[in-house]
Amino acid sequence: MPMSIKSIMAFGCMTALALPLVACSPRRIPPLGVTDLMDDRVALDGVLLKCNEDPAKAHYEQECVNARIAIERLANRPDPAEEARRQQEFERTREQLRMAQEKLREEQEAKNKVDAYHLPVLPVDPVTSAPPLNNPPPVSNPASLNNPPSANNPPPVNPPPFNAPRDH
């Protein structure tokens, strides 16, 4: 089916009119997320202001919900100054503990370490020489060597002490 020139011209004009309307329409801006609002406090204040004053002015309902969630999270976040003070206190306590453990370790090492220069001096006793091995021990009763004890010849009850001269 052939198209007439009039229909082609009408179709072209309508396309020419619709194209700028479609191209010039504002793009839809996605709602700001919770983390975006937490990072940008000015945007958070602006969204909350729009949501509180006139909910119809707010672009999206989701943006108002995200702004309220961001406010709650920011309120629950600890104060940075308090967090820094706690971290500093923790570091100071850890350093004290480390120093105490280091001191205790050094004391243990000093206790276990033997320093030859600081040992006490002990007097040396003279060594007594032992009797030579080829000489038999002195006998208290020389007569008992020839006559061993028996029923007829009992050993002496109390032999007299014998002090043999020592050879040095």
Terminal Cα distance for the chain, rounded = 151
Please give the helix or strand (H or E) that residue 75 lies within, else none.
helix 61-76
**Which pLDDT does position 13 carry in this prediction?**
79
Which residues lie closer than 8 Å to 71 by C-beta, 6 or more apart? 44, 48
**Which pLDDT does position 102 carry in this prediction?**
96
**Which pLDDT does position 141 carry in this prediction?**
58
Q: What is the mean pLDDT of each run of 10 residues along the chain (168 residues)?
A: 76 76 68 86 88 72 88 86 92 96 91 75 71 60 57 59 62
Length of the chain equals 168
**Which pLDDT does position 9 carry in this prediction?**
82
Q: How far apart are CA 43 and CA 66, in angstroms?
A: 12
Which residues lie closer than 8 Å to 58 by C-beta, 6 or more apart? 47, 50, 51, 64
